[in-house]
């Protein structure tokens, strides 16, 4: 009786469910399904085509025995650490300067943020040109008379990753500045007044009052920068193509090359699973702090 | 030199602020050390940020002999638009020599449907999540948001298989679908947050008046949220136009988007490097997002803030 009178629960709110079908498919099939599929197939010896021939951890052993992967991991650590430090420090300093009730704030912000609208390909190609040893910075300084001046990061395997870092910072620091500025604007004006009444110098107010208050902004910015670092691919392809030699390889490029150029799918899957792991290492503590630790700052 | 000018005009403001303090008037300096420091630093940093744009423009307007002689920062002695023409219609990628125009139109054919489709789906989705919550909706939404952090490399190959299964691998349609899928997390979040912030009474009143799911969406929500749609359009146009990875993985060379073609033109190994043509091509590719950026102004900032701070 009850069953007949009540419409089945599946059809309640049917329109909303229909509207959510793309989201459900994306979440389940692409995000969950795709991730699980890749992780599972990273345990196979697939080469040109995916095959269900499971070989345990062999792909991972091979991966960690490959010099190219070591270079890629080392590069992403250097690039990542420098990007985090520099973009946070420079971004915050710029935001603090912009927050001094200056004139032309909009003009400055427009200038600092425009590189963010450009693609990594464009960014990489421009900096490839500026860092060109013959015509770029090195050539100019030498033509001024300093013949022994040397600044050719893109052609020097030891420092090539810093050449990429310069371009990456140019592109991304504006975003950090914007986020920090939004955070600074969220600080109550009374805090500043109170600090001034107490005679605390400005830099101390920033360091011991404002920055701790901006903790959530810093954490979110950190997560955004970190998520971007793992994905670094286009920039390297455009600026150096991984060269000289393999000196500027990054994990994302290793994955692409293994999957689509050298027909070594299993390696690609294993490498991308390692990338996923590194993201989880950042993401899970953050999610715990943000959503699990509500009592702390709720 | 700009600093002294701005500082002079600016002198009134520190004085005003000083008035709020109980410690008496400050000496009125026209150019205070503090202002020199602030404006000086910002000015220098701004120069660093503008430098690459300047170099791009200057290089693209020079002839090759001038580039070989001069330095990259000097303005062109003889302005020529030939590199622009060449980049647009003759530059070679290694496969063909009809310039960037092919990539430009490919990118247009990718960007326009992707923007429309992704925003249509995400806005209806965000509306369902904000106003018509059903059981389990939050679980899918959480997965979606976490999915935004998964490196694309993890999902690259499974999507190749999916697209191959439905016959869209290597086509523009397939790439449009990929962009729609990967735009969904950020856009759904954007729309869900916006629709949740609208007064609930509005929604209830419409329901009492007998409007249904689609009626409320089209007659009330849509007209009320044009600004957020503009923000979404900005996010998507710049994001999709600038994409490289999906373009190179999911399309074939004849439908490569502009970024991929640009990279192939500039980094192709054969032939003499024509730096002026390369810079013209780079500038042309960057022009679309730059124009969107300069026109949209504050909305662009709002877009990245909405996407980033809450994400």
Say whether B263 and A182 touch across the interface (CB within 8 A). Answer: no
Most A CBs within 10 Å, among B150, B238, B265, B295, to test the A interface = B150
User: Nearest residue on chain A to B187, judged by CA atoms?
Assistant: A23
Fold of B101-309: MetI-like fold (1.10.3720)
Q: Do A178 and B161 touch (CB under 8 A)?
A: no
Give yes or no for B15 touching A (CB within 8 A).
Answer: no
- Of B93, B149, B179, which to mutate for an interface test with A (greatest number of A Cβ within 10 Å)? B149
Q: Inspect the interface and report whether the beta carbons of B154 and A275 lie closer than 8 Å.
A: yes
- Among chain B residues, CA nearest to A101: B13
ipTM of predicted complex: 0.87
The pLDDT of residue A94? 93
| pLDDT, tens digit, 9 for 90 and up, residues A208-259 | 888 999 888 888 888 888 878 888 899 999 999 887 889 999 999 999 999 9
The pLDDT score that the predictor gives to residue B302 is: 74
- pLDDT above 70 as % of chain B: 87
Confidence category of residue A7, pLDDT binned at 50, 70, 90 = low
Query: How many angstroms away from the CA of B209 is the closest CA of chain A?
Result: 18
3-state secondary structure of B43: helix
- Cα distance from B144 to chain A (closest Cα, Å)? 5
Confidence of residue B146 (pLDDT cuts 50, 70, 90): confident
Q: What is the pLDDT of residue B309?
A: 45
> Average pLDDT for residues B284-296, to the nearest whole number?
91
Mean pLDDT, chain B, as a whole number? 84
Interface A-B: count of C-beta contacts within 8 A: 267
Which residues pair with residue B251 across a beta bridge? B170
For residues A29-54, average pLDDT? 91
Determine the residue of chain B that is closest to A107 in CA distance: B46
Taking 70 as the threshold, does the pLDDT of residue A293 lie above it?
no
- Per-residue pLDDT, A40: 94
Using CB atoms and an 8 Å cut-off, which of residues 33-52 of chain B contact chain A?
Answer: 38-39, 41-42, 45-46, 48-52
In percent, the amount of chain B with pLDDT more than 90 equals: 43
Tens digit of each residue's pLDDT (9 = 90 or more) over A180-193:
998 898 888 888 88
Q: What pLDDT is recorded for position B90? A: 83
pLDDT of residue A275: 92
Mean pLDDT (whole number) for A292-297 = 51
pTM: 0.86
* CB neighbour class for A125 (10 Å; exposed up to 12, middle 13-18, buried from 19): buried
Q: What is the pLDDT of residue A5?
A: 58
**Cβ proximity of A72 and A254 under 8 Å:** yes
Cis peptide before A244 (omega within 30 of 0): yes
CB–CB of A224 and B311 under 8 A?
yes
* Terminal-residue alpha carbon distance, chain B: 42
The half-sphere exposure of B261 on its side-chain side, counting CA atoms within 13 A, is 32
Rounded Cα distance, B153 and B256, in Å: 19
The crossing angle, in degrees rounded to 10, of helices B258-266 and B101-131 is 140
* Mean pLDDT, residues B155-161 taken together: 93
Closest Cβ–Cβ partner in A103, A119, A174 for B242: A119
Count other Cβ atoms within 10 Å, centred on residue A190. Answer: 8
pLDDT of B183 strictly over 70: yes
Assigned token pair, B213 = 């799911």
Put simply, whether B18 touches A (Cβ < 8 Å) is no
Tell me the pLDDT tens digit for each residue of B205-260. 998 998 889 999 999 889 988 888 998 998 899 999 999 999 999 998 888 999 99
Span A96-152, pLDDT tens digits: 999 888 888 888 999 999 999 999 999 999 999 999 888 888 888 888 888 888 888
Nearest CB neighbour to B156, from listed A32, A251, A259: A259
Mean pLDDT over residues A146-168, rounded?
Answer: 88
d(CA A157, CA A239): 14
d(CA A38, CA A48): 15
Q: Do A265 and B157 touch (CB under 8 A)?
A: yes
Rg (CA), chain A: 25
In this complex, do B13 and A217 lie within 8 Å of one another by their Cβ atoms? no
pLDDT-based confidence at residue B91 (cuts at 50, 70, 90)? confident
Higher pLDDT, B143 or A145: B143
In sequence order, what are the residues at sequence separation of 6 or more whose Cβ sits closer than 8 angstroms to the Cβ of residue B187?
B118, B119, B122, B123, B126, B232, B235, B236
Could A117 and B305 be called an inter-chain contact, meaning their C-beta atoms sit closer than 8 Å?
A: no
Please report, for chain A, the start and end positions of each structural domain, with discontinuous segments joined by +: 1-41, 57-297
Residues B36 and B15: their CA atoms lie apart, in Å, by 16
At residue B77, the pLDDT reads 86
Higher pLDDT, B129 or B302: B129
Chain B segment 257-296 residues within 8 A of A by beta carbon are 259, 262-263, 266-267, 275, 278-279, 282, 285-286, 289-290, 292-294
Domain ranges of chain B: 2-80, 101-309
Residue A154 per-residue DSSP state? G
Per-residue DSSP letter, A155? G
Q: The domain A57-297: what is its CATH number?
A: 1.10.3720.10
> For B2-56, how does the pLDDT look when each residue is reduced to its tens digit (9 = 90+)?
344 444 444 444 444 444 555 565 555 557 888 888 899 999 999 999 999 999 9
pLDDT at A294 over 70: no
Q: Which residues of B touch A287 (CB under 8 A)?
A: 146
CA distances (Å), B73 to each of A222, B52, B55, B67, B247, in order?
35, 10, 6, 10, 33
Compare CB distances from A108 to B42, B146, B290 and report the shortest one's residue: B42
Q: What is the pLDDT of residue B10?
A: 42
pLDDT at B169 over 70: yes
């Amino acid at each position: 009786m009850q069953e007949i009178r009540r419409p089945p629960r599946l059809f309640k709110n049917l329109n909303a469910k229909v509207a959510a079908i793309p989201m459900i498919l994306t979440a389940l099939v692409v995000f969950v399904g795709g991730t699980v599929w890749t992780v599972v197939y990273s345990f196979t010896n697939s080469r040109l085509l995916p095959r269900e021939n499971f070989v345990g951890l062999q792909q991972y052993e091979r991966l960690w025995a490959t010099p190219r992967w070591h270079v890629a991991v080392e590069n992403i650590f250097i690039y990542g650490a420098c990007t985090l430090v520099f973009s946070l420090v420079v971004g915050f300093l710029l935001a603090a300067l912009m927050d001094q009730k200056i004139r032309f704030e909009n003009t400055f912000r427009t200038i600092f943020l425009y590189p963010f609208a450009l693609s990594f390909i464009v960014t990489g190609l421009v900096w490839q040109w500026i860092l060109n040893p013959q015509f770029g910075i090195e050539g100019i300084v030498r033509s001024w008379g300093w013949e022994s001046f040397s600044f050719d990061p893109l052609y020097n395997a030891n420092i090539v990753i810093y050449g990429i870092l310069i371009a990456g910072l140019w592109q991304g620091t504006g975003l950090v500045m914007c986020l920090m500025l939004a955070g600074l604007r969220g600080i109550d004006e009374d805090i500043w007044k109170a600090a001034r009444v107490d005679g605390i110098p400005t830099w101390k107010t920033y360091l011991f009052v404002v920055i701790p208050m901006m903790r959530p902004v810093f954490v979110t910015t950190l997560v955004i920068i970190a998520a971007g670092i793992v994905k670094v691919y286009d920039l390297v392809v455009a600026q150096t193509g991984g060269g000289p030699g393999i000196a500027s390889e990054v994990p994302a490029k290793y994955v692409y090359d293994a999957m689509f150029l050298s027909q070594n799918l299993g390696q690609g899957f294993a490498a991308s699973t390692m990338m996923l792991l590194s993201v989880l290492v950042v993401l899970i503590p953050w999610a715990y702090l943000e959503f699990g630790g509500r009592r702390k700052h709720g | 030199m700009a600093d002294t000018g701005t500082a002079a005009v600016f002198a009134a403001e520190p004085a005003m602020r000083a008035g709020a303090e109980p410690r008496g008037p400050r000496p009125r300096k026209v150019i205070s050390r503090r202002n020199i420091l602030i404006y000086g630093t910002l000015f220098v940093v701004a120069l660093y940020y503008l430098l690459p744009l300047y170099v791009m423009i200057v290089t693209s307007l020079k002839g090759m002999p001038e580039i070989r002689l001069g330095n990259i920062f000097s303005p062109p002695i003889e302005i020529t638009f030939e590199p622009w023409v060449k980049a647009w219609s003759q530059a070679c990628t290694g496969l063909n020599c009809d310039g960037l125009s092919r990539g430009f139109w490919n990118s247009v054919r990718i960007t326009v449907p992707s923007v429309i489709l992704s925003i249509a789906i995400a806005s209806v989705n965000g509306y369902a999540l904000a106003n018509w919550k059903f059981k389990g909706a939050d679980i899918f939404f959480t997965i979606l948001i976490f999915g935004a952090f998964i490196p694309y490399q993890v999902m690259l190959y499974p999507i190749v298989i999916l697209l191959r299964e439905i016959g869209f691998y290597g086509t523009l349609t397939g790439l449009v679908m990929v962009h729609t899928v990967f735009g969904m997390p950020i856009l759904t979040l954007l729309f869900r947050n916006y629709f949740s912030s609208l007064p609930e009474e509005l929604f209830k009143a419409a329901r009492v008046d007998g409007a249904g799911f689609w009626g409320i969406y089209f007659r009330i929500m849509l007209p009320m949220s044009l600004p957020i749609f503009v923000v979404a359009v900005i996010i998507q146009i710049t994001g999709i136009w600038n994409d490289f990875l999906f373009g190179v993985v999911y399309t074939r060379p004849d439908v490569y988007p502009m970024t991929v073609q640009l990279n192939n033109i500039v980094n192709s190994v054969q032939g003499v490097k024509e730096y002026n043509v390369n810079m013209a091509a780079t500038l042309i590719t960057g022009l679309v997002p730059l124009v969107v950026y300069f026109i949209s102004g504050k909305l662009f900032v709002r877009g990245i803030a909405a996407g980033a701070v809450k994400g």
